[in-house]
């Protein structure tokens, strides 16, 4: 009887009873398959193009990179509309190369970093710019300006086994057919292997993590009714329409 009780306790510990059904992790389509990429965490790199740093009045030199996060639940699939968020009157687009991690690790060297990449996508780091300015002025966290609901539209993930590891190629975004952002991902201050190495020195990367690598110059506001189209050479086009709250 004692052995049966012990076995039951072990089984119970292995299969906990939840107060309510746990939420499944957000998942992004994988191009060319019927599979989805389950998302764990979303990391973002700040000021990673020199022209964008100058646009912000910041130092464009190669300084230590800094990071912030968005919740995985902020992701929006390609083509789905985004409601204009509350508490802002200055809502901005930021087109970005996104790296999808397929193998985790810590203290990954830049020489080994690309072995941990599952694939790449196009993302848009939507931002409540006025709330970001306020947070910066008051030295407060960025979450309300960066990590709000539906703040991270993203395309399907293209597997590195099919597209390789893009290190150059046009990155662009237009609003209602007018180009606002146009650059080359070769202009990244910190390239993808370096970003992975730096993040993995600060956090343990996990399969399912995404990294938004930063946006080039040309960031600007969007309004309800605007249609954004943006892309990266070889990775397709991200389409997002802003609708009224």
DSSP track, 55-110: HTTS--S-----EEEE-GGGEEETT--EEPPTT-S-EE--EEEEEEESS-BSS--T
Question: Which architecture does CATH list for 26-243?
Answer: Alpha-Beta Complex (3.90)
What is the rounded distance in angstroms from the CA atom of residue 57 to the CA atom of residue 173? Answer: 22
Q: What is the pLDDT along the chain (245 residues), one digit of tens a residue?
A: 344 444 444 444 577 899 999 999 999 999 999 999 999 999 999 989 987 767 766 777 788 899 999 999 999 999 999 999 999 999 999 999 999 999 999 999 999 999 999 999 999 999 999 999 999 999 999 999 999 999 999 999 999 999 999 999 999 999 999 999 999 999 999 999 999 999 999 999 999 999 999 999 999 999 999 999 999 999 999 999 999 98
CB 156 within 8 A of CB 120: no
Q: Which two tokens stand for residue 40?
A: 């764990």
DSSP label of 152: E
pLDDT at 1: 38
pLDDT at 13: 56
Alpha helix (H) residue ranges in the chain = 2-14, 50-55, 129-138, 143-146, 160-163, 192-202
pLDDT at 5: 46
3-state SS, residue 131? helix
What is the rounded distance in angstroms from the CA atom of residue 27 to the CA atom of residue 14? Answer: 25
């Amino acid at each position: 009887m004692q052995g049966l009780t012990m076995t039951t306790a072990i089984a119970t510990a292995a299969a906990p009873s939840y107060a309510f059904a746990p939420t499944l992790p957000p998942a992004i389509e994988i191009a060319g398959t019927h599979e989805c990429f389950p998302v764990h965490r979303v990391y973002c790199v700040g000021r990673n193009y020199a022209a964008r740093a100058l646009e912000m009045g910041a130092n464009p030199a190669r300084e230590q990179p800094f990071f912030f996060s968005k919740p995985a639940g902020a992701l929006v699939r390609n083509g789905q509309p985004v409601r204009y968020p509350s508490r802002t009157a200055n809502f901005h687009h930021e087109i970005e190369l996104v790296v999808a991690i397929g193998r985790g690790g810590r203290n990954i060297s830049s020489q080994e970093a690309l072995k941990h990449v599952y694939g790449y996508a196009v993302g848009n780091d939507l931002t409540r710019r006025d709330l970001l300015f306020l947070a910066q002025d008051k030295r407060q966290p960025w979450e309300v300006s960066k990590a709000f609901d539906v703040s991270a539209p993203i395309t399907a993930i293209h597997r590195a086994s099919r597209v390789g590891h893009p290190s150059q190629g046009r990155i662009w975004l237009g609003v209602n057919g007018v180009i606002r952002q146009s650059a080359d991902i070769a202009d990244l201050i910190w390239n993808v292997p370096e970003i992975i190495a730096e993040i993995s020195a600060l956090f343990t990367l996990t399969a399912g993590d995404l990294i938004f690598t930063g946006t080039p110059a040309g960031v600007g506001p969007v309004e309800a009714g605007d249609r954004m189209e943006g892309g990266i050479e070889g990775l397709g086009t991200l389409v997002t329409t802003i609708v009224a709250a």
